[in-house]
Structure 1
Amino acid sequence: MVDIPLIVHLTYALDFGGLESLLVERINRMPTNKYRHAVICLTRYTDFSKKIKKPDVALYALHKPPGQAPGTHFKLWKLLRQLRPTVLHTYNLAAIEYGVTGLLAGVPVRINGSHGREASDPDGRNRSHNRLRKWLIPFYDVCYSNSADLLRWNKSVIGVPDGKIRLLNNGIDTDRFRPARLLARPEGMEHFPADCFVVGTVGRIQEVKNQTLLIEAFAKLRELVPLCRERLRLVIVGTGPLHTFLMEKADRLGLAEIVWMPGARMDVPEILNAFSVFALSSLAEGTPGSVLEAMATGLPVVATRVGGVPDVVCDGATGLLVPSHDVDAMAAALARYCLDPELAARHGAAGRAWVEQKFAMDSMVSAYTDMYDDLCKNKLQGAYKPCAE
């Protein structure tokens, strides 16, 4: 009986988020006879983990405390020695240091993925973080990026050599996320006016997503289009540490009755189809999966010009890009779609076509599978047999 290689995915947490959603999609869709999977969370996992449908995917939580935690390295080392994976796949800066642990545990293939930068360092200028990234390059076989912007940065700033770098685009399930005529509004939106114009966003509610800017821009939008004022609504789907703060912010601006923040939802495709425009106010992004989902749904997009967003949203063709931190610019862009439904429909249709052409889910899964195949073949050379003892 031939053992099937095990991939251990090491992430900070497994909770509602773009990176996590695509991780789960890859696990669910990757051929069962090719690889097995386990997910190790440095901190915790939540009910979001139930989205993993493939059987026998083990989940582990190391409950890492804030700050430096040498004990977490030892916990991970012991677990890796027990699991004996063929591949350790770490995600972003939060997990990058554990490539060393993987080497010491004898994991033959080690991969780090850049899926976006931190809210505290959206442009990737933190010298200590970048020194760490540079120092850890030898411990990885591949340091890939999920956007052209991150790829350029990894090459020019971090110094990842050509032989270790790849571009792996995100993918979207265009069957699940597609334009659809709703027979009824999603639960919680039943009482929205029939002709309402819904500005919506989906994402983890945290500093890097900067939904505070979106709420302020929505308040400004109501001033810019007084004739549409009564039918404007704002929807922010997701959960996170700033959820209560945002609700209080909306209340202070007198928007509590027209801003809906339902937390995490499992019916995102249906909710997207109730939006009129999708808005992204982030400080930093890799390739934003939420934007791709919105475009696949046929929505025009207003987004901040950060990270890999310009590689996804074509300004003036599939959406409108605005400077980060610019409340007035975002409000003005939202007003254009509110006042010109034909422009919104044209940009939405173009976005759907673009996603179908460039960001197919099957292409993403194939690209990751090919990376694993190449590395296992080149590094193992038949000498290593991942066993399940």
Structure 2
Amino acid sequence: MNAQTSAPLVVHLTYVLDFGGLETLLVERINRMPAGAYRHAVVALTRYTDFARKITKPGVEVYALNKEAGLSLATHADLFKLLRRLKPAILHTYNLAAIEYAPVALLAGVPIRINGLHGRDAADPEGRNLKHNFLRRLMLPFYDHCYANSGDMLAWNREVIGVPESKSCLLANGIDAERFRPLAGDETGPDFGFGPDCRVIGTVGRVTEVKDHATLIDAFALLRARLPEQAANLRLAIVGEGSLLPALREKVRALGLEGLVWLPGARYDVPDILRGFDIYAISSIAEGTPGSVLEAMASGLPVVGTRVGGVPEVIADGVTGQLVPPRDADAMADALARYVRAPAMAQAHGAAGRARVMSHYSMPAMVAGYQALYDSLLERKTPFRKPIKSCVE
């Protein structure tokens, strides 16, 4: 048996495997983790899309359990059978949507269970839902480790849910600063059909309630009204797929912004698309450490973001971007206007943002952090196993 087939298996359990920040970084970790260290499989509670083809590491199986809304006890049974067949060493669940499946993994004989807190839902952006928090506390004994991807989330996990410090840590996101980079001197960015000389404000992410793209559209309309001399050259791009996309298109039509707002749905050329933006905006009402913001910063873009979750940990206000309150179209329009009026400041903040990503959010450091967590739990819970040396390709 070769080293790859004998490596411990990690099963990643997520609600859906589709275009999104959490899923993008999950795939990056799978692709980059040394093959001889761990094998991987991905289980989507609901479904997976063509996004799964972004997994390039050989031998990674992807499964969908087609979970129905609600408790869906059949999904628990299906996962139990799958885990018994796959025999993973680690079940790695993501966010609240997958947290309830640790007891199933324990019954199936999975020795290590990990939950990652990467963000919250739009219905509970501040983590105050008593029912959800009761479930988190109820599941806590079944997990060996509950990490978070931002300092804000880590503190909340410890103080509100009661996760002991000994079984929690911060695992920051990382970005591939070679793929996500500014335009080179001789390059021309895409114009998205807008034509030359346009200033493009853009965002990338799943089109769901938690991202609050409606406020961003309102802010764009206000921005055009406040800068009439520049309004003709201002454009907005919202890249991503999601259930609210038809409603956003209707909102754009109702505001008379057709032809000025680009809503292409999911795209797989995000690095190139970011190089066509002038300013990045994120209007979320809840976030962990937003990978899309790190990608934008790595691409040399100034960022206007909402002061929620881990966003203030990423954006240095007045240095790499600007922070505004959530659900505040007026404040976002004002911040965007400052960059439109002062291109030199926008360029300086973009350069500072890339430097911050290079020094604090490297992709190798992220991969090494996750592998080190797997290694330490394996060594503690399977003491007769030969220790694994953490490394990154």
TM-score (norm 1): 0.97
Which letter maps to 1:107?
V
Aligned mates of 1:63, 1:212 — CA distance in 2: 30
> Contact 2:204 / 2:239 at 8 angstroms: preserved in 1?
yes
Corresponding residue to 2:27 among 24, 29, 48: 24
Mapped partners of 1:339, 1:113: distance in 2: 41
Three-state SS of the structure 2 residue aligned to 1:236 is: strand
1:121-200 equivalences under 5 Å are 121-181=124-184, 183-186=187-190, 189=191, 191-200=193-202
SS of the residue aligned with 1:149? helix
Match of 1:42 among 41, 45, 58: 45
Letter in 2 for 1:110: R
What is the number of residues matched between the two proteins?
A: 382
For residue 358 of structure 2, what is the amino acid of its counterpart? E
How much has 1:257 moved relative to structure 2?
1.2
Corresponding position of 2:88: 85
Change (3 A) 1:383 1:199: closer
* Corresponding residue number in structure 2 for 1:58: 61
What is the one-letter code of the residue matched to 2:134? R
SS of the equivalent of 2:210 reads helix
Classify the secondary structure of the residue corresponding to 2:318. Answer: coil
Q: Which moved more, 1:55-64 or 1:375-384?
A: 375-384
Q: For residues 261 and 101 of structure 1, what CA distance do their matches in structure 2 show?
A: 40
Q: 1:61 to 1:190 in 2, by over 3 A?
A: closer
Q: 1:109 aligns with which of 107, 112, 121?
A: 112
Find the residue that maps to 1:97 and give its secondary structure: helix
Q: Is the 8 A contact 2:122 2:285 kept in 1?
A: yes
CA contact (8 A) 2:146 2:168 kept: yes
Whole-Å Cα distance in 1 between the matches of residues 118 and 333 of structure 2? Answer: 28
Q: Distance in 2 between matches of 1:72 and 1:42?
A: 8
Residue in structure 2 matched with residue 371 of structure 1 by the alignment = 373
Q: Are residue 336 (structure 1) and residue 300 (structure 2) matched?
A: no
**Residue number in structure 2 paired with 1:354:** 356
Cα offsets for 1:111-166 (capped at 9, x unmatched): 00000011100000001100110111110000000000000100100000011101
Distance 2:192 2:293 in 1: 24
What secondary structure does 1:208 align onto? helix
Same amino acid, percent of matched pairs? 60
Q: 1:314 aligns with which of 313, 316, 319?
A: 316
Secondary structure of the residue aligned to 1:37 is: strand
SS of aligned partner of 2:230: helix
3-state SS in 2 of match to 1:40? strand
Q: Deviations over 1:168-205 (max 9, x none)?
A: 0000000000111474443xx35323221101000000
Q: Quick one: which amino acid aligns to residue 130 of structure 1?
A: N
The answer to whether the 8 A contact 1:314-1:320 is kept is: yes
Distance 1:288 1:359 in 2: 11
What secondary structure does 1:314 align onto? Answer: coil
SS in 2 for 1:320: strand
Which whole-Å CA distance do the structure 2 matches of 1:198 and 1:185 have between them? 11
Unaligned runs of 5+ in 1: 385-389
Q: Give, in whole Å, the separation in 1 of the partners of 2:180 and 2:317.
A: 22
Give, in angstroms, the shift of residue 267 of structure 1: 1.1
Alignment-mate amino acid for residue 111 of structure 1? I
Following superposition, the deviation at residue 245 of structure 1 comes to 0.5
Who is 2:228 aligned against?
226
| SS of alignment partner, residue 115 of structure 2 | strand
1:4 alignment counterpart? 7
Give the distance between the partners of 1:184 and 1:383, measured in 2 at CA: 53
1:85 counterpart letter in structure 2: P
Q: Tell me the equivalent position of 2:256.
A: 254
Match of 1:302 among 301, 304, 316: 304
Equivalent pair of 2:192/2:262 in contact (CA under 8 Å): no
Root-mean-square deviation over aligned CA pairs: 1.1
CA contact (8 A) 1:13 1:42 kept: yes
8 Å Cα contact 1:280-1:303 kept in structure 2:
yes
Contact 1:38 1:58 in 2 (8 A): yes
Give SS of 1:226's match: coil
- One-letter amino acid of the counterpart of residue 78, structure 1: K
Cα pair 1:193 1:231 within 8 Å, conserved? no
Q: Which amino acid aligns with 1:220?
A: L
Q: In 2, Cα distance between the equivalents of 1:290 and 1:149?
A: 18
